[in-house]
Structure formats: C-alpha cells, structure tokens
A and B are shown apart, each in its own frame.
Chain A
Amino acid sequence: GAGVSQTPSNKVTEKGKYVELRCDPISGHTALYWYRQSLGQGPEFLIYFQGTGAADDSGLPNDRFFAVRPEGSVSTLKIQRTERGDSAVYLCASSPTARETDTQYFGPGTRLTVL
C-alpha cells in the first residue's frame, strides 16, 4: 500500500517568509509525528499527534512553528517568519497507534532551504 507522503519534496524560501509543509500518513494510522533533521545529525522530534490533537509538542523550537491535523489524517507544519537556521529536512512519520511497540514509518521528507 501507499506509504507516508510529503509535499513539497523541496522548498526554497526567503528569510522572513511563511511556509507550509504537508504530510499524508499511511491510511488508518492514528499517530503522526514531525521531526527535523539537519545535516550530519539524527532526526529531532518536533511534535506528535494522536488523532486530531497534539499529544506532545515539546520539540517545537519556538512559537514560529505550529502544526495542525484537523481531521485526524493529513497534517500541516507551519513555519512563520522563517530564519536561515530553519533550513533542514522535515520528516513526517506515522504509526498505527501510539504504542511503543508500533513501528514509525517515515516519509521521504521535505528539504527546506531558507535563503
């Protein structure tokens, strides 16, 4: 079946602009996660949704970052007033539930470049 999909695959923007990154989880998966991966580093947790609600947003770096999942499926990560330091690959993952034993399946990522 279809895996996790993310759009766009690449996004180039200018400092100060607003961007939206989209994630389509695997159908039926209730848990959805956003990570950010900088070059040479492992993914860094940002936020996790169980259904429509953000169950843990402790990884969001500041209030410029916000994510929604209004219908419990597709999620959008929103970044306001982008900064050069926001440049990274943004990864989305989904799992059937939020149990520890559930595998998180990653999407291909969106590479964000802030000029």
Chain B
Amino acid sequence: QKEVEQNSGPLSVPEGAIASLNCTYSDRGSQSFFWYRQYSGKSPELIMFIYSNGDKEDGRFTAQLNKASQYVSLLIRDSQPSDSATYLCAVMSPSSASKIIFGSGTRLSIRP
C-alpha cells in the first residue's frame, strides 16, 4: 500500500465549476498535510496546508481533513483554465519532522 494515494486522473471540470481532489494516507500518526500545484515542466508550489480536522479556506481553495478516515481533499471553487495542473497531496512523515511524502498527483483539466 502506498503511503499517500491519489487518483491520477485526468479529472476534467468545466470552467466555473467546483473541482474536487481527493487523497488518502496510510500512517495514522501523520499530523501535517499539504497540497502542491505543479504545472507541466515546472516545480511544485505549495497552495494549502492543514493540520486540524475540518475545513480550511483560502480564497477559492478549501482543504478538508478527516483524520479518522485518513482522508484529505482539496476543493477549488469557480475553476479557471489557469487551475489546469497536477495537484500533489503530501504528508509530513510522523517519524521525521521535515520529510514530506508525496502522492503521485492528480492531473486536473479545466475546460472552457
């Protein structure tokens, strides 16, 4: 079982709709969770982090964490073509304070 699992996609969403990206993780001791965006040929860029159960909102982005279900999600409201990218879910390793474990990413495509 992979430590961080994501559906590889592609996920196609019409412009203006809500894009929902999901991720599960295997280590119940994990405490810190991140969403990175990666455009093709570019390096990852942090867009959200979440540490507590529940929702965290930042502009059009909402991260959701459910530690009991070991589930993290990212919602993107009012999707724009510029949101088309690969979204990487990442988890801080509970055994090493600064080691981040990434999922394989979900490719999101926003169609005009």
Contact = CB atoms under 8 A, between A and B. Distances in A.
A85 interface: no
Contact of B8 (A40, A58, A101): A40
Interface of A is mostly: loop
A8 to B, nearest CB: 15
Contacts of B92: 100
Interface residues of B, number: 24
Contacts of A56: 96, 98-99
B43 A42 contact: no
Contacts of B31: 100
Contacts of B45: 106
Given A40-B8, A58-B96, A108 B42 contact: yes
Interface in B77-112: 88, 90, 92, 96-105
Given A42-B104, A91-B43, A48 B99 contact: yes
Given A56-B96, A100-B31, A45 B43 contact: no
B17 interface: no
A36 to B, nearest CB: 11
A25 interface: no
A45 B104 contact: no
Q: Which of A43, A56, A98 has the largest count of B CB atoms less than 10 A from its CB?
A: A43
B96 A42 contact: no
Interface of B: 4, 8, 31-32, 42-46, 49, 51, 88, 90, 92, 96-105
21 contacts: A31-B98, A33-B100, A35-B102, A42-B88, A42-B102, A43-B44, A43-B88, A43-B102, A44-B102, A45-B99, A45-B101, A56-B96, A91-B44, A98-B97, A100-B32, A100-B97, A101-B49, A103-B46, A103-B49, A106-B44, A108-B42
